[in-house]
Amino acid sequence: MAHIDVTSSSFQNDVLDASNAAVVLADFWAPWCGPCRMIAPLLDEISEMPEFAGKLVVAKINVDEHADLAEQFEIQGIPNMKFFRNGKVVAELTGFHPAETKDALIANIKAHLPA
């Protein structure tokens, strides 16, 4: 499954009540954010990997269009990725460093999947 675009009105259903995945990785981003644009293709690729089928959903949240969600989750810098399990934030990654590789992101995601 590729990423899903989440809105303020779909957030409850797509992220908090998500039953189709063990973990929802909510990617808070903005179109003007260079690091956000750099990490987006990696997240898209990871979200389509067979090993994450049924275990991970990448939910994209544009903070410019949905400032209420950015405020609710105290987003102070982007990209900001929050891992949700059973409707609760269980981990957070802030920022993106060009040296970070796909393998590092995969390892981070795997660390937050239930055993």
pLDDT digits (tens, 9 = 90+) for 60-102: 999 999 999 999 999 999 999 999 988 889 888 888 766 667 8
- Which of the following is catalytic: 21, 33, 69, 93? 33
CATH number of the CATH domain containing 8: 3.40.30.10
Is 36 assigned a catalytic role? yes
Instruction: Give the H/E segment covering residue 73.
Output: none
- Number of independent structural domains in the chain: 1
pLDDT digits (tens, 9 = 90+) for 14-66: 888 876 557 889 999 999 999 999 899 989 998 899 988 888 889 999 999 99
Whether residue 84 contacts residue 99, with contact meaning beta carbons closer than 8 Å, is answered with no
Between CA 87 and CA 101 the distance in angstroms is 28
Distances (CA, A) of 14 to 23, 95, 102, 104, 110: 11, 23, 25, 26, 21
Distances (CA, A) of 5 to 99, 101, 103: 26, 23, 24
- Which of the following is catalytic: 18, 25, 26, 36? 36
Is 72 assigned a catalytic role? no
Domain that holds residue 96: 4-112
